[in-house]
Structure 1
Amino acid sequence: MTTPPPSPLAAGRSDGASVRIGALVPLSTPGWVEAGHHLLVGLQLAVHEVNAAGGIAGRPLELLVRDTAADPQKAAAAVEELAGLGVAALAGEYHSVVARAAAARADALGVPFLCSSAVLDALTEQPTEWVARLAPAQSHGWRIYADFLLGAGHRRIAVATQSSVYWASGTRVLREYLAPRGGSVVELDMTTLSPTAVCEALVDPGATALLLLVGHPEPAVPIVRAVRRDRRLAEIMIGAPAGQPEFPTWARLLGGDSAAVPFLRYLPDRLGPLGARVEAALRERLGVAPSFVAFEGYDTVVVLAEVLRSRGADEARAPDPWTRVAVEGTRGLIRFSRVPGIGVRQWTWAPTQVVDRDPAHPDRFRVLHTG
């Protein structure tokens, strides 16, 4: 009988002095560098704490970090490289389209990949046992956002959007959820419109909310400035479901205009003891309040450490290391399951809020709706 070669998970447990995890993070433009930094700091803090507690069966955990720069091809190449180095698993990534490319290569190579932040429902084309995800699927989070819009009295929604699978998917989720409930979505194509033209387009259709399904800072910041300064649009609510206002750069660039822009955030209303302790440690490392992305990074390593501690070398040769996971993360108990229409193992669901920056104190957040 031929013995099958060990999976990368088994190799990561048995080769070398350390147990290595490959970390995929956007650390240079055109990637969202600020989000990537928060994600990496969360990953690093958890690795530090795992090692302080004795590592994995006495062996230290080590991160091998690769910058994806929001480039799917670069991410796929990094997966190939890290698999060749014998990493135990892959972790991270923020951008959905990039994570999809990484997941495809991880599945093909049989490398466990725990995606931290990307939300696109179709993270893989086919069901796989190798990939799992912490962040809620886009269809889940954006329906919660649509509920918030309806509850706030918004039925006619305009979306300023760019060409992207992610933005197109978000627009579709909103339209399909709002239409049966008396709502409608009008698309404003930012490949042809300037921020001033967006203002003109908003005057006649009667939309009461404008959602920014565009990149940050360009063109999101100029759009906000233009709309805020147009007196005809004083009653228009600006929203950003993808989370652009979460990070300090948003407030720094927009000042007072940064407030009252609701977005999705994946945190509970109140953190438990673990979450509160980690929040303080993340704040110390970041120098600012940690975003939900930093918590996602931390929880990713918590899950992978549990997997590596609990599975023996023989079991590690098989796919699907996720089904037995039940571990306390910073935002609740993490378990994975199958969700119809989603091909990866999914935590169902991380706590989800709609929040904005308080107009009276733009450095503080207000919880507007909880899903």
Structure 2
Amino acid sequence: MSTTPVRIGALVPLTRPGWAEAGRHLLAGLELAVRDVNDAGGIAGSTLELVVRDTAADPQRAAAAMDELARLGVAAVAGEYHSVVARAAAARADALGLPFLCSSAVLDALTDEPTDWVARLAPAQSLGWRLYADFLLGAGHSRIAVVAQPSVYWASGTSILRDHLESRGGTVIDLDLRADVCDQLVDHRATALLLLVGTPEPAVPIVQSVRRDPRLAEVLIGAPAGQPEFAEWAASLGTDGAAIPFLRYLPERLTPLGARVGTALRERLAEAPSFVAFEGYDTVAVLAEVLRAHGTDRAHIAASWPRVAVDGTRGRIRFSRTPGIGVWQWAWPPIQIVDRDPADPGRFRLRYVG
């Protein structure tokens, strides 16, 4: 191979307060895909190289990393998990003229204005969270309590849930995180509690309190953002962390590529790979095809988004313009609602398919 590598940047939350476990899975997928690309001959004879920067869930740190990566001459940037961080990165990508393929962040308003420089693999929050609201209604829950931390992402999620549920006869109740959550659930006669908060704090102690309160034995706990997906959740909560439905972006059956990648990811992570790891792999798979077809010129890469057609681990990936979304969007990735099985918290149960 050529001695001059083709470099792509990678934004990943690897340290607190970032969701480091999600970042570890995202990076595993990115790195595995880079290895596979290079084993298959690289990019026109050149090695593909990943330049990783830890965002630690800090938007300013992500913006600074985008500036640095642009100076280093990367052809494009991949990754990021946290929506508020990806939003900052997308704004810098647009300003710098640097292609950014966002792996996992779902916030609808990833940019303030439409841009040709940014594309996204994860589904928009409005799609997934509306499906989650439909699931709640179908399961007989119309009085939904929400406990949320201050964040653009959590506020957006609450708004989506409220609009969708209230238009169908449901009620969304905002709980005060500073007060006793269990007492508030009883007072408001809520039948479901949604955790729009970080993990392990304060999500884990909230779950433990609700599970131990005999007044709330019939209350469903939900976590649409996917907190129960990762092994840390099961390790912290055991059976208390089971039967808490969440969104994940996997099909009922992986593609043949996905099955092979899943095995390799399990070996790399020493645990079951999350949907975030598959998002990471697919991100590099798309960028590699773009680089092979269009070279490393940044403008050519950005212009190629509408022509992408790549077989990923979870289906065929194509980008299009979606109403209300300012970036090129894979419309749509597969969406499931799953939970951990109370009889075996290491196993997931499929509850709903979007």
Where on the TM-score scale, by shorter chain, does this alignment land: which range? over 0.9
Among 344, 349, 363, the residue aligned to 2:346: 363
The answer as to whether partners of 2:33 and 2:281 remain within 8 angstroms in 1 is yes
Among 95, 100, 106, the residue aligned to 1:108: 95
The answer as to whether partners of 2:12 and 2:26 remain within 8 angstroms in 1 is yes
Aligned length: 353
In structure 1, distance between residues paired with 2:18 and 2:331? 27
**Structure 1, unaligned stretches of length 5 or more?**
1-14
The answer to whether the aligner puts 1:159 opposite 2:146 as a matched pair is yes
SS in 1 for 2:321: strand
The answer to whether the aligner puts 1:71 opposite 2:58 as a matched pair is yes
Alignment partner, residue 3 of structure 1: none
In structure 2, distance between residues paired with 1:231 and 1:107? 52
Alignment partner, residue 127 of structure 1: 114
The answer to whether the aligner puts 1:234 opposite 2:221 as a matched pair is no
Among 196, 211, 215, the residue aligned to 2:194: 211
In structure 2, distance between residues paired with 1:47 and 1:369? 33
The answer as to whether partners of 2:99 and 2:301 remain within 8 angstroms in 1 is no
**Structure 2, unaligned stretches of length 5 or more?**
none
Note the C-alpha offset of 1:319: 3.9
Alignment partner, residue 26 of structure 1: 13
The answer as to whether partners of 1:112 and 1:131 remain within 8 angstroms in 2 is yes
Alignment partner, residue 6 of structure 1: none
- Report % sequence identity: 74
SS in 2 for 1:289: coil
Alignment partner, residue 5 of structure 1: none
TM-score by length of 2: 0.98
In structure 2, distance between residues paired with 1:317 and 1:185? 46
Structure 1 residues 91-118: Cα deviation after superposition (integer angstroms, max 9, x where no partner): 0000000000000001100000000000
The answer to whether the aligner puts 1:323 opposite 2:306 as a matched pair is yes
The answer as to whether partners of 2:144 and 2:171 remain within 8 angstroms in 1 is yes
Alignment partner, residue 11 of structure 1: none
Alignment partner, residue 169 of structure 1: 156
Note the C-alpha offset of 1:206: 1.2
TM-score by length of 1: 0.93
The answer to whether the aligner puts 1:346 opposite 2:346 as a matched pair is no
SS in 2 for 1:242: coil
The answer as to whether partners of 2:290 and 2:301 remain within 8 angstroms in 1 is no
Note the C-alpha offset of 1:204: 1.8
SS in 2 for 1:310: helix
The answer as to whether partners of 1:162 and 1:189 remain within 8 angstroms in 2 is no
In structure 2, distance between residues paired with 1:318 and 1:249? 37
CA distance 1:165–1:132, shift in 2 (3 Å): same
Note the C-alpha offset of 1:272: 2.0
The answer to whether the aligner puts 1:300 opposite 2:287 as a matched pair is no
The answer as to whether partners of 2:175 and 2:181 remain within 8 angstroms in 1 is yes
Among 290, 306, 317, the residue aligned to 1:334: 317
Alignment partner, residue 9 of structure 1: none
In structure 1, distance between residues paired with 2:158 and 2:100? 27
In structure 1, distance between residues paired with 2:350 and 2:132? 12
The answer as to whether partners of 2:105 and 2:122 remain within 8 angstroms in 1 is yes
Alignment of 1:221-300 (within 5 A): 221-300=204-283
Find runs of 4+ consecutive structure 1 residues off by over 3 angstroms: 312-319
The answer as to whether partners of 1:259 and 1:356 remain within 8 angstroms in 2 is yes
Among 56, 63, 84, the residue aligned to 1:97: 84
The answer as to whether partners of 2:80 and 2:86 remain within 8 angstroms in 1 is yes
CA distance 1:318–1:232, shift in 2 (3 Å): closer
